[in-house]
Structure 1
Amino acid sequence: MAQTNATILIPDISGFTAFMTTTELDHSSHAINLLIDEILTAVGDEYDVSEIEGDAVLLIKKGPAPAKKEILNICLKIFNAFHFRRMWIQRYTVCPCKACQSISNLTLKFVVHHGPLAEIKVGHFTKQSGLEMIVAHRLLKNDIENHEYLLITEKLLQQEADASETEDMEWTISSSEYDSIGKVDYRFTMLNGLRKLVPEPPAPSVFYRTDTTPYHEVKIAASVRDVYMTFVMNMANRAEWVPGLQKVEQDIPEVFIGSVHRFTFDDYEAIISPRRMTITEDGFIYAESCQITAMNLSLIYEYVFKEINEKTSCFRYRFMNASESTLTNDVNATLLERLGQMAEGFRKYCEGIVEFDL
């Protein structure tokens, strides 16, 4: 069994357990995956990814212990990327589920340790093990009364002198006692105050020109939330109910404000992009842009999802001209006819679903 000295770095998403158990499983998992991806992008090739542990990433860097300043730099890089992405999801989401709406409650902490690790190879996989790996994971449970901090063990720090570049951080000396391990000494510095320094993502462009175009509506025998989630969050499935729609292609599977979805119809192509989502007292308002280049059309489709009761909702819809040119009566009539066919197909689709797979 091969042994090597290595630095163990564990970014851990705090609040993960409560987040996963009190929100929709599919969407909470999806949100966590986006944040984990952001952590991995920030790490780059500075550390090797040993394992993804649900709410944490196990990172390994073989060789001597890094300087305290180096550790601080990589952790702050991850911290900033994590919170930038978290704020971006909050601003650009069109999903009203508890997971996407409560993502602001997630925080990030770090544990950094150094020592000899053993490598166990099982098939094509290599797993790091040993006492120091156990120590690092045990340190995720400690007496620090905060959920955003950087913890570095004294065992690591003893190998490097403190750098003057880290003196502006307030470090606290502490320790924790663990069964079968004993006392582990470490220092930690709080990071929650640094959230304020994370640059905010740009606000999405949600403005569009409205007019007095009337709404049309249909009643759907399904809950307002299921109707909304089916229509908006499962955009690739619209070919199931939109007449003439052959397929939907998109660069990413997620649906956000500004995401691009290419709709291929029998006789034309359209680019659909979400513009805004508003949660109301009894439902949701959602709008998306539609560009049909071959017809020189620029449209805004606006949809209102309103709860009638727990098992019935009202689906209201309209389109508005987003270009400077005037739509002819024939074009208006054709668009309205197709929109009505879509609404009727959507109603039948929703009422034919027993369980929504979202």
Structure 2
Amino acid sequence: MNQCDDLLPAFFCVPDITGFTRLIATADIEFSKEIIPGLLRRLVDSNILKMNVGEIEGDAIFFYRTGRLPAAARVIKQCHLFFSTFETYIATYKKSHPEHYEKHLADGQLGLKVIIHYGCACPANIKGRTKLIGKDVIIAHRLLKNSLDENEYILFTEDYVRRVRRNYGGVIFAEDWRSGSETYEYIGEVKYNYLTPDEFGRAED
């Protein structure tokens, strides 16, 4: 576990659109510039954890929250809300843009993954904007590129799960979740647990 020293404890949450590159490369530009910004806006609006928006990076929103770790049940609720918001928004295009929907959105061509991490960060002011700096900021970003084959999932780093178990007892987190790890240069191994949205719903029940 990282030692924070003078850094601030920070909760990171990064919803990321999968299939984004394919959509931008193959879809009509008018359609692309309508659907992606609209989806990102709705994900930002569904932020019930009162997280800060650090960056919007094309297909991902880098949320963070310093200070007290949000309760595990609230984090789970937030993840469900992200997925329901995503699914509802995509479904509207089935009626409004049926041809675009069948070509670019049907059968899960666009998906959503959510990275959850806990660590430390140092806020820096750069021309009036707050920029987070630190190893855990890098980890949250790097985990968007991983070896998982699934198009949609929720990934919880070991650091986050360990902190939740310490703070809340961790009853919500099942021991039979799938596990994995990635190794990044200069960072080393990052362990995590993950579930698909369907599995996540069953685990919550």
**Residue 125 of structure 1 aligns to which amino acid in structure 2?**
R
Q: CA deviation at 1:90?
A: 2.1
SS at match of 1:59: strand
Q: CA deviation at 1:88?
A: 1.1
More displaced 10-residue stretch of structure 1: 77-86 or 59-68:
59-68
**Which 5+ residue runs of structure 1 have no aligned equivalent?**
196-358
Deviations 1:165-202 (A, max 9, x none): 454x961122111111110011111115679xxxxxxx
Q: CA deviation at 1:102?
A: 1.4
**Which 5+ residue runs of structure 2 have no aligned equivalent?**
1-5
Q: Does 1:182 align with 2:188?
A: yes
* Structure 2 CA distance for aligned equivalents of residues 26 and 85 of structure 1: 17
**Residue 146 of structure 1 aligns to which amino acid in structure 2?**
E
Q: Does 1:86 align with 2:90?
A: yes
**Residue 35 of structure 2 aligns to which amino acid in structure 1?**
A
Q: How does 1:271-310 map to 2 (within 5 A)?
A: none
Deviations 1:75-100 (A, max 9, x none): 11111111111101222237x4x478
SS at match of 1:159: helix
Q: Higher Cα Rg: structure 1 or 2?
A: 1
Q: How does 1:32-111 map to 2 (within 5 A)?
A: 32-44=36-48, 46-93=50-97, 96=99, 98=100, 101-104=103-106, 105-111=109-115
Q: Does 1:154 align with 2:173?
A: no
CA contact (8 A) 1:150 1:188 kept: yes
* Structure 2 CA distance for aligned equivalents of residues 60 and 70 of structure 1: 15
**Residue 176 of structure 1 aligns to which amino acid in structure 2?**
E
* Structure 2 CA distance for aligned equivalents of residues 108 and 61 of structure 1: 21
CA contact (8 A) 2:15 2:60 kept: yes
Corresponding residue for 2:137?
A: 133
* Structure 1 CA distance for aligned equivalents of residues 7 and 93 of structure 2: 41
Deviations 1:40-62 (A, max 9, x none): 11114621111111101010111
Higher strand share: 1
Q: How does 1:224-263 map to 2 (within 5 A)?
A: none
TM-score using structure 1 length: 0.49
**Residue 117 of structure 2 aligns to which amino acid in structure 1?**
H
Higher helix share: 2
Deviations 1:298-342 (A, max 9, x none): xxxxxxxxxxxxxxxxxxxxxxxxxxxxxxxxxxxxxxxxxxxxx
CA contact (8 A) 2:49 2:75 kept: no
CA contact (8 A) 1:8 1:113 kept: yes
* Structure 1 CA distance for aligned equivalents of residues 152 and 61 of structure 2: 16
Equivalent pairs: percent with the same residue?
27
The number of equivalent residue pairs is 191
Q: Alpha carbons of 1:192 and 1:53: their partners in 2 closer, same or farther (altered >3 Å)?
A: farther
Q: How does 1:319-358 map to 2 (within 5 A)?
A: none
* Structure 1 CA distance for aligned equivalents of residues 27 and 97 of structure 2: 16
* Structure 2 CA distance for aligned equivalents of residues 164 and 131 of structure 1: 28
**Residue 64 of structure 1 aligns to which amino acid in structure 2?**
R
**Residue 180 of structure 2 aligns to which amino acid in structure 1?**
S
Q: CA deviation at 1:29?
A: 2.1
Q: Alpha carbons of 1:76 and 1:49: their partners in 2 closer, same or farther (altered >3 Å)?
A: same
* Structure 1 CA distance for aligned equivalents of residues 199 and 87 of structure 2: 12
TM-score using structure 2 length: 0.83
CA contact (8 A) 1:90 1:101 kept: no
